[in-house]
Structure 1
Amino acid sequence: MKYVYLGLIVFLSGLSYGQQDNTKNPFQQLDTELPTPNVYRNAAGAPGHAYWQQQADYKMEIRLDDEQQRIYGTERITYHNNSPDQLDYLWVQLDQNVRSLDSDTYTTERSRLDDRMTLGQLSGLEPSFDGGFQIDHVKNAGGKDMPYYIQKTMMRIELPAPLASGEEVTFDIKFWYNINNRLVDGGGRSGSEYFEEDDNFLYTIAQFYPRMALYTDNEGWQNKQFLGRGEFALTFGDFDVKITVPADHLVAATGTLENENDVLTRQQRQRLEQARQEREQPVIIASQEEAIEREKTKSTKEKTWHFTAENVRDFAFASSRKFIWDAMGVEQDNGTVVMAMSMYPKEGNPLWERFSTKAVAHTLKWYTHYTFDYPYPAAWSINAAEIGMEYPMICFNFGRTESDGTYSDRTKYGMIGVIIHEVGHNYFPMIVNSDERQWTWMDEGLNTFLQYLTEQQWERDYPSRRGPANKIVDYMKGDKQYISPIMTNSESIWQFGNNAYGKPATALNILRESVMGREQFDYAFKTYANRWKFKHPAPADLFRTMEDASAIDLDWFWRGWFYTTDNVDIALTSVKPYRINTRNPVAENDRQRKQQREAGRNISSIRNEEAIAQTYDEIDTTLRDYYTDYDPLESTVLDEEEYQRYLEGLSDAERATLEADKYYYELTFKNIGGLVMPIILEFTFADGTKEVKRIPAEIWRMGTEEVSKVFPFTKEVTAVVLDPFLETADVDTSNNYYPSRSSQSRFDLYQRGERNGENPMQRDARARARQQSGSTGSQRK
């Protein structure tokens, strides 16, 4: 490595990189983007001293018609106006209307015709299933009709008199709707699944009742139409729900079962009590053998299951005669015991019996670790094909085995991952109750981040889909025409999964690992979770709390990652080595000789050694004088005297710097992607040791296109790697190395007719059978 020798006066300082457009400055504060703090939400990101929120309490009687696949229901809603505002009308969500024949979900969906179309594709161009709410009546508590108007997925209820601050109103709604088959009628979060082989249904029922829209200090009524993607903004309240189903069904639901003696057998109650005491292994409450018998002998009678739940934002349930049921208790730090439970059909075994309830328990443990104690009595995981969806205390999760009971690793880890994710939604947004209709990332992104942390606690190097920075690279470097900023409304997002799940989860992981550090991040994040549990946070509340609790300015991070589509591409464009010119004549002359030797001779000099027999001065020696044999690198007594006088003029600190004789390296970085990030460097030295340097993102604050920094070392550097641990989501790592590196690509070879579609368990079984067959053949011989 060739070094440039610095002059005798070494001046190392911050450099100025000129003027920049402050309107595009990533370090401009977010004050202009965030709402003004007030008495409801303060500047620290916490609820203000006058914070308020509404409450909606429900009493419901629901009947599931297993013959017609319908839900019939009546509900009494008591709405408490805790706001300082007078309300002239109420808005109620009719989410099932997304399946009405005139739904905007159908009319606004893009479609095209190709030269070749299947009948299925053609039938999908127009709705064929009417699953919208049928409202029989809306009456006040005295039984008098109340005027209402239905606008697609919203219903406005007219009040006879304005509802003043501090008052409440009670009204009744009678309704019904057709339950959609999720696997036939266009999917969905809720519905039925039909099992043809035993002629039975499995119901996962949600959004099944008219629900109060959210009214908040910062949004007013959240009555944005539901088109199917943006989820739900809901009000906390208490629920008292009676659900009538076929007598041989098992039911799981939000809340506490109030009538165990009426709906469970004595044996089931005994097993459930045993499960409440169990902490290590789930207890089977309803076995697979019992479920198979229920499938065969369908009851024509009905039973009513009674559930109550306090301070929840929603209610959902599952019902089927196919269910197997297991459970165990999870003891929390505060001493409370939460029941982790699963229901699933035989088609999920042995996968579900082995993993589901333990995944629920594991999720409660680690989400609590990062946030707060789980406040509810139960957490359910319900098996349903091709779905992952969450509600308070209950979630619906995919994961089925092959007909022979085997499963792929993708199925296993996908199932565990979705259970962790959906159970984790109890914390975000079921408790930390963000507005999903507006900001999907506030529940999905935060939850996906915690899912990643929890998955890594499940198994060493768990194959998480999202979280690590390198997994978001392909998305970040994609065509910006099809990428939206995270701060985009749910219904208008390109690449929904990457935008609302992957990118915010990755951003939080980068904050934790590379910007704030784990200790500071965990403290601030837990502060946010506890400030806003059972409340309605907005993005500004998260942004402000994370700064308030850590004393770290993060405006540049929120601006770049959440408000733009820039990516990270920082290039290490040059590494210039320097040494100090010590003025020591002996040492400096030796260095120059060494450099000259290492530089080598040019080709002309080498060839002239043979081609020129004698030079003129070799022929005529009278041409030789003092300079013929002069060596400019030979030091003299005068040189030594000058060096000593130089040393005598130095201070002790200057002499120490001189004697250290360090190696100096000027590194220059170019910001190609536009997103400023910390600069993380790994230096390798000539003796084989390594050292990591971490430079905060603020190094870019005076100029975001290019920056240089000098690094002094006592040892010679042989290599430098930028972002060595793949923690910044750099989309092009080919420009991150000194000396530069080239990567080798590989391609796969295949033969026609190769066996596909076989999972490793099946292949292993086939191999063992082949081996056993071979052994038997040898014995016969």
Structure 2
Amino acid sequence: MNKFYTSFAAAVALTMLLAASLFAQRRRASNPNDTIASNYNPAELFSPAFYTEKGNEFHAANGAPGPKYWQNKVDYQLNAKIDTVSKTLSATENITYTNNSPDALPYLWLQLDQNTYKKEARSNFVTGRAAAEHTKGYEFESVEIVVNGKAQTVNYLVNDTRMQIRLPKALSANGGKINVFIKYHYQIPGDFGGRTDYTQTKNGKIYEIAQWFPRLCVYDDSTGWDTLPFLGAGEFYLEYGDIDYKVNVPWDMIVAGSGELQNPKEVLTAKQISLLEKARNSDQTIMVRSAAELKDPSSRPVQKGTLTWHFLMKNTRDVAFGASNAYIWDAARVNLPEGKKCMSMSVYPIESAGNEAWGRATEYLKGSIEYFSKQWFVYPWPVAINEAGTAGGMEYPGIVFDGITDKGKELFWVTAHEIGHNWFPMIVGSNERRFAWMDEGFNTFIDVYASDVFNKGEFAPKRDGEYAPGGGNPADEIVPTILDPNAPVIMTAADAIKEKYRHPIAYFKPAFGMILLREQILGKDRFDYAFRQYIHNWAYKHPRPDDFFRSMENGAGEDLSWFWKGWFYNNWRLDLAVHDAQYIKTGDKRSIRITVVNLEKMAMPFAVEIKLKDGSKQRQSFPVETWLQNKAITFDMQVTQDVVQVQVDPDGALPDMDRGNNLFKVR
């Protein structure tokens, strides 16, 4: 090639290079992904390898229990007595513990929740505000184990709300059994007890007895012995088994306990037994013991001494009971799927009577159980009880303690919420001491929809969980928490969440996250199918957070790692904005070209709606993949008349931190 052609070729190449460079600059200048300032980074939100561990033989990759999943079992036999003069509970306990783990256990750990009321308890130092009243906690008279058929004393150590029993010989793996005998008593806390207490009413004291016996800590494949102390906010993590218990009280008291009463003829009158049988076949609430009978000795089978009430509850992690001579008692049938039945009961003092208050408590309980059983998983126990006292919103298997002064919608909401806990974590046995959201969040989510269904929506809506019941847009109400730089994330340990954030983070944000999954991300059919699979797979077992995440992804067929990352592990903000809207013309067709930008670190599927001059509207929906590569998206919508405005998220369904930039007026 001669010099002329060489020079000419070089000049052409240079011209083309300059032209390409200029075109690229102009293209970048017109691309909103390059010109709009945004905190959004697609690579960060959608980064792969969300799970730090792969599935294994115990917790499978699909979110189900693996083929070698194991779980220990614990059965209890309890004999308790309440002394109403000294306000003490004394009891003997026979524990049968089965070690199904692959490990020999040289010691056992038990939970001692009553020790939280001791002056030196660790729970007094969590918030910096020590309780004003205290008890001595558990006082042990003896602790024994059975060796070769003979009871012998055993070395044990009490440390705050835990007891370690040091065995003379390790409990063998893969089915080894041991019996532990404990004799103890404790002072029943007064109103300061919170979850367990006694309080005075017009016709007598009400005793709410919970966390009343030493219970085995869980030994699992995640942490071995889970020995987190009871500090108040973090609740319970317990093994399943059968609990056979007896409660001795003065003759004039009614005992309402978890499980099924085994000796009605000994503790009830013939009339009461007949009325209970009538209630067992009635959708209408039947009065078993009326207000008029409170002072009538004939409403009890004997008129002196004491009576022993005997209850049995199978395949449960705990039991609790209420006892009082001030109880009004009513009951009704609960209709379950496939023709199954159970009983709904309420006990409450005369101060709580009336249809505007506790007169409808059994109806509320019945309606909630019927909905949860139809929608998610059938209620498994023969009885459910709503008990009125000062614990004011606490749940145990088969029984809930609700507020003595609750009325109307507040009573329905608290009843639905507390009995809902029988699904989470009483049936699905998650570790609520570590992961409060798997307990409170899931349960707040399911009782949102119970309000929609009960009595054709009598107490609806409850879209905001319990955060501000009955009003406001939950998408807007969660934003202040997300914007708060001091707010913890959902995955924070339960007891590490300050009271200011306890409800927003443990209840509201995870519940609203589930609503987003169901109503905006997956759709109701896919969500419900996956969530039901999770519940059925982990009923009476111990799931971890990853088991839930994997269950939802596998059941719904969707990679949701971006959602878990942004919503559960972080408080990443969402801010979608309409950046621009301009008319364009292609031939004889007119369109409006719209640019939507994501300004913050979170992403969501979204909708854009245009309002036309005649008031009509057009809408277009976009999946979350819109944000897989882009910080902004530009698209056209064909129109036949002038556009008045363009709006992103027109329903206000997304937790958008700045709704001011969601609306764009078109000139």
Q: Is the shorter-chain TM-score for this pair beyond 0.5, marking a shared fold?
A: yes
* 2:394 maps to 1:376: no
The residue that corresponds to 1:287 in the other structure is: 290
Alpha-carbon distance in structure 2 between the residues aligned to 1:131 and 1:720: 66
The residue that corresponds to 1:678 in the other structure is: 605
The residue that corresponds to 1:527 in the other structure is: 533
Alpha-carbon distance in structure 1 between the residues aligned to 2:561 and 2:405: 44
The residue that corresponds to 1:45 in the other structure is: 63
The residue that corresponds to 1:656 in the other structure is: none
* 2:427 maps to 1:431: yes
TM-score computed with the length of structure 1 as normaliser: 0.76
The residue that corresponds to 1:557 in the other structure is: 563
Per the TM alignment, residue 475 of structure 1 is displaced from its structure 2 partner at its CA by 4.1
Per the TM alignment, residue 269 of structure 1 is displaced from its structure 2 partner at its CA by 0.4
TM-score computed with the length of structure 2 as normaliser: 0.88
In structure 1, runs of 5+ residues without a counterpart are 1-10, 112-124, 402-410, 583-658, 742-781
Aligned positions of 1:146-157 closer than 5 A: 146-157=154-165
Q: Which has the larger Rg?
A: 1
**Structure 1's 42 and 683: CA in aligned 2 closer, same or farther, altered over 3 A?**
same
Amino acid at match of 2:473: N
Per the TM alignment, residue 686 of structure 1 is displaced from its structure 2 partner at its CA by 3.0
Aligned positions of 1:145-294 closer than 5 A: 145-165=153-173, 166-182=175-191, 185=192, 187-195=193-201, 197-198=202-203, 200-279=204-283, 281-293=284-296
Alpha-carbon distance in structure 2 between the residues aligned to 1:291 and 1:461: 32
3-state SS in 2 of match to 1:261: helix
Conserved 8 A contact 1:382-1:395: yes
Q: Spell out, residue by residue over 1:285-323, the C-alpha distance to the aligned partner (whole angstroms, 9 max, x if none).
A: 011111244699996521000011110000101100110
Per the TM alignment, residue 36 of structure 1 is displaced from its structure 2 partner at its CA by 2.8
Per the TM alignment, residue 127 of structure 1 is displaced from its structure 2 partner at its CA by 4.4
- Match for 2:447 among 444, 447, 451? 451
Per the TM alignment, residue 154 of structure 1 is displaced from its structure 2 partner at its CA by 0.6
**Structure 1's 517 and 230: CA in aligned 2 closer, same or farther, altered over 3 A?**
same
Alpha-carbon distance in structure 2 between the residues aligned to 1:688 and 1:21: 34
Q: Spell out, residue by residue over 1:79-138, the C-alpha distance to the aligned partner (whole angstroms, 9 max, x if none).
A: 000111111111000011110111111134325xxxxxxxxxxxxx56442141111111
Aligned residues: 619
Q: Spell out, residue by residue over 1:562-594, the C-alpha distance to the aligned partner (whole angstroms, 9 max, x if none).
A: 0111232222222222222x3xxxxxxxxxxxx
Alpha-carbon distance in structure 2 between the residues aligned to 1:667 and 1:520: 31
Per the TM alignment, residue 32 of structure 1 is displaced from its structure 2 partner at its CA by 4.0
Amino acid at match of 1:156: Q
In structure 2, runs of 5+ residues without a counterpart are 1-26, 466-470
The residue that corresponds to 2:468 in the other structure is: none
The residue that corresponds to 1:733 in the other structure is: 659
Per the TM alignment, residue 370 of structure 1 is displaced from its structure 2 partner at its CA by 2.2
The residue that corresponds to 1:441 in the other structure is: 437
Alpha-carbon distance in structure 1 between the residues aligned to 2:524 and 2:610: 24
3-state SS in 1 of match to 2:96: strand
The residue that corresponds to 1:721 in the other structure is: 647
Aligned positions of 1:599-618 closer than 5 A: none
Alpha-carbon distance in structure 2 between the residues aligned to 1:553 and 1:95: 40
**Structure 1's 697 and 445: CA in aligned 2 closer, same or farther, altered over 3 A?**
same
Alpha-carbon distance in structure 2 between the residues aligned to 1:526 and 1:126: 41
Per the TM alignment, residue 739 of structure 1 is displaced from its structure 2 partner at its CA by 1.2
- Match for 1:29 among 48, 51, 54? 48
Amino acid at match of 1:497: H
Conserved 8 A contact 1:576-1:667: no
Alpha-carbon distance in structure 1 between the residues aligned to 2:485 and 2:376: 37
- Match for 2:464 among 446, 455, 466? 466
Give me the CA root mean square deviation.
2.5
Aligned positions of 1:619-630 closer than 5 A: none
**Structure 1's 330 and 21: CA in aligned 2 closer, same or farther, altered over 3 A?**
closer
**Structure 1's 465 and 273: CA in aligned 2 closer, same or farther, altered over 3 A?**
same
Aligned positions of 1:762-781 closer than 5 A: none
The residue that corresponds to 1:712 in the other structure is: 637
Amino acid at match of 1:691: Q
Amino acid at match of 2:205: F
Aligned positions of 1:318-467 closer than 5 A: 318-350=322-354, 351-385=356-390, 387-400=392-405, 411-458=407-454, 459=457, 462-464=460-462, 466-467=464-465
Conserved 8 A contact 1:30-1:559: no
**Structure 1's 463 and 193: CA in aligned 2 closer, same or farther, altered over 3 A?**
farther
Alpha-carbon distance in structure 2 between the residues aligned to 1:529 and 1:425: 13
The residue that corresponds to 1:499 in the other structure is: 505
The residue that corresponds to 1:639 in the other structure is: none
Alpha-carbon distance in structure 1 between the residues aligned to 2:43 and 2:533: 31
Per the TM alignment, residue 22 of structure 1 is displaced from its structure 2 partner at its CA by 7.4
* 2:616 maps to 1:689: yes
Per the TM alignment, residue 30 of structure 1 is displaced from its structure 2 partner at its CA by 5.2
Conserved 8 A contact 1:294-1:321: no
Amino acid at match of 1:418: V
**Structure 1's 448 and 533: CA in aligned 2 closer, same or farther, altered over 3 A?**
same
3-state SS in 1 of match to 2:394: strand
Amino acid at match of 1:508: M
Alpha-carbon distance in structure 2 between the residues aligned to 1:162 and 1:417: 48
The residue that corresponds to 1:765 in the other structure is: none
Conserved 8 A contact 2:391-2:401: no
3-state SS in 1 of match to 2:186: strand
Per the TM alignment, residue 265 of structure 1 is displaced from its structure 2 partner at its CA by 0.3
The residue that corresponds to 1:90 in the other structure is: 108
3-state SS in 2 of match to 1:423: helix
3-state SS in 1 of match to 2:81: strand
Conserved 8 A contact 1:56-1:236: yes
Alpha-carbon distance in structure 1 between the residues aligned to 2:142 and 2:248: 21
Conserved 8 A contact 1:29-1:556: no
The residue that corresponds to 1:591 in the other structure is: none
Alpha-carbon distance in structure 2 between the residues aligned to 1:82 and 1:170: 15
Per the TM alignment, residue 491 of structure 1 is displaced from its structure 2 partner at its CA by 0.6
Alpha-carbon distance in structure 2 between the residues aligned to 1:300 and 1:688: 78
Amino acid at match of 1:169: I
Q: Spell out, residue by residue over 1:15-50, the C-alpha distance to the aligned partner (whole angstroms, 9 max, x if none).
A: 7947999797111235344x3311001000000011
Per the TM alignment, residue 375 of structure 1 is displaced from its structure 2 partner at its CA by 1.1
Alpha-carbon distance in structure 2 between the residues aligned to 1:432 and 1:89: 27
262-271 vs 130-139, which moves further: 130-139
Conserved 8 A contact 1:62-1:243: yes
Amino acid at match of 2:218: L
Q: Spell out, residue by residue over 1:240-270, the C-alpha distance to the aligned partner (whole angstroms, 9 max, x if none).
A: 1011011111111111100000000010001
Conserved 8 A contact 1:317-1:394: yes
Aligned positions of 1:63-82 closer than 5 A: 63-82=81-100
**Structure 1's 296 and 526: CA in aligned 2 closer, same or farther, altered over 3 A?**
closer
Amino acid at match of 1:58: Y
